[in-house]
Amino acid sequence: MKGQGTGSRVQSQGKTAGSDSAAGKGGGKAFVKGRPAAAGPTLSAAEARAKLSPARLAAFEILLLVAHGKGHSDELLHSALTDALSAEDRNLATALVMGVLRWQIAAASLESAPTDTPASVRGPL
């Protein structure tokens, strides 16, 4: 049957960013806009990590540990991960961690909330 399969219609038609008449420029990927030149070069992982504030890095590490079941947020926020931070950075790390966890709980409750609209009409969440 026409239109079925795993490939996208864009790929099956052979269109790329360079073949789109509106784009008019050569490219390699299908309809993916490049990074603007004004944004500067892409940083390496080490350079990007070095630019992170200590509070954001601590919050990220804590969230990873919580996600992998290797600790509880309240214990990790009062652990060696935040001992070296200033009071302001500790407050920021706490706000980031608790905010992310709060939003995860809210999203999970919306995802599991009953609805009057049939799934066939509503579509996937």
pLDDT tens digits for 54-101?
999 999 999 999 999 999 999 999 999 999 999 999 999 999 999 999
Instruction: For the chain, give the mean pLDDT.
Output: 77
Cβ atoms of 85 and 93 closer than 8 Å: yes
124 vs 111: CA distance, rounded Å: 10
Q: Is residue 91 part of a domain?
A: yes
24 belongs to a structural domain: no
Residue 121's pLDDT band, with cuts at 50, 70 and 90, is: low
- 108: domain range? 54-112
At 102, the pLDDT band (50, 70, 90 cuts) reads very high
pTM of the predicted protein model? 0.56
The 10 Å CB-count burial string (b at 16+, else e) for 75-84 is ebbeeebbee
If one counts the domains in the chain, the total is 1
Give domain status of residue 120, yes or no.
no
Of the candidate ranges 21-25, 85-89, 109-113, the one whose mean pLDDT is the lowest: 21-25
79 in a structural domain: yes
pLDDT for the residue numbered 122: 62
Apex 34 CA angle, 29 and 36, nearest 5:
170
Please indicate, yes or no, if residue 90 is contained in any of the structural domains: yes
Residue 106 lies in a domain: yes
Instruction: Establish if 19 belongs to a structural domain.
Output: no
Name the nearest CA neighbour of 76 among 95, 59, 96. 59
Average pLDDT value for residue range 23-28: 50
The HSE-up count of residue 77 (CA atoms within 13 Å, CB side) is: 18
